[in-house]
Amino acid sequence: MTHSMTRWSAARTEEIEALRRRYPTDHALLLPVLWIAQRDFGWISHDVMELVAETCRTSPAHVYSLATFYTMFELEKPIRYHIQVCNNLSCSLCGSEGILAHIEKRLGIRAGEATADGRFRLTAVECLASCGTGPAMQVNDAYYEKLTLEKVDALLEEWMK
C-alpha cells in the first residue's frame, strides 16, 4: 500500500537496501533515509515524509515528529544560501555579534528571516565546534572560520552575483 507520489530512483533503492542490512530494525533507518531524502529531493515535504514512512515501515506522523525534532531537516523549499552564524559564547567572545549584525545590514534582513528574492536565509545558531577558529558560520555544507568583516563581504559579493 503506497500513498506517496514521490519515488526513489533505482540506484537509491539499492543504497537504502544496503543500509537496511546494517540495522536490525527498519526504524533505525529513519535518520539515514531522511538524510538521503533531503539530498535527493532538497527538502522534507509531507509527500516525502510519506515515502520515508513507507520505506522505514512506520507512520508518517512519526516521521513528522523526527523531521521537526531535529533542526537540520528542511521543512520548506530550501534557499540557495543558508547562512548560519554561531551565536554561542566562544564565537561571541571573538566578535560574532558584529559579524551577524553586519550580514543583517548587508542583506537587509534580521536573523531568522530570508531575503525577498529567496536566495539567502540568515540564522543565528548554536555551537558548531569551531570555538578555536571563531567567529564561525556554516553556509549549507561548508564551514567558514576566523571570520572578519572583509572576509564576509568578499563571500557575500561572490554569492550575490
Partner 1 sequence: MIAETILLKARMGNTDSHTLASARAAGAYRASAKTLAAAPEEIVQLVKDSGLRGRGGAGFPTGLKWTFLPKNRDATYLCVNADESEPGTFKDRLILEEDPHLLIEGIVIACRAIRCAHAYLYIRGEFCLPHERIRAAADEAYAAGLLGPNAGGPGQAIDLTIHRGAGAYICGEETALLNSIEGKKGQPRMKPPFPTNVGLFGKPTVINNVETLANLPFIVEKGPDAYRAIGTEKSPGTRLMSVSGHVERPGVYEVAHGVPMRGLIEDLAGGVRGGRKLKALIPGGSSTPVLTAEEAYAVNVDFESVQAAGSMLGSGGCIVMDETTDMVWALDKLAHFYAHESCGQCTPCREGSGWIAEIVRKIATGKGTRADLEKLESLAAQIVGNTICVFSDALAMPVVSHVTKFRAEFEAHLADRASSSSAAP
- Please identify which residue in 5, 75, 129, 160 interacts with partner 1, judged by CB under 8 A: 129
Residue 77 as a binder of partner 1 (CB under 8 A): the answer is no
- Least spacing, CB of residue 117 vs partner 1, in Å: 26
Binding map of partner 1 across residues 37-76, x = CB under 8 A, - = no contact? -------------------x-x------xx--xxxxx---
* Identity of the residue, 106 or 145, whose beta carbon is nearer to partner 1 in the bound complex: 145
- Least spacing, CB of residue 18 vs partner 1, in Å: 11
Separation between Cα atoms, residue 84 and residue 112, nearest integer Å:
10
Rg (CA), the chain: 19
* Identity of the residue, 10 or 142, whose beta carbon is nearer to partner 1 in the bound complex: 142
**What is residue 60's three-state secondary structure?**
helix
Binding map of partner 1 across residues 80-119, x = CB under 8 A, - = no contact? -------xxxx-xxx-------------------------
Span interacting with partner 1, options 7-15, 30-38, 107-115, 148-156, rule CB under 8 A: 30-38
- Please identify which residue in 4, 34, 81, 83 interacts with partner 1, judged by CB under 8 A: 34
Separation between Cα atoms, residue 69 and residue 77, nearest integer Å:
18
CB 104 within 8 A of CB 97: no
- Strands (E) across 9-151 are located at 81-86, 120-125, 137-139, 142-144
Separation between Cα atoms, residue 148 and residue 8, nearest integer Å:
42
Three-point CA angle 87, 68, 112, nearest 5°: 35
- Least spacing, CB of residue 116 vs partner 1, in Å: 26
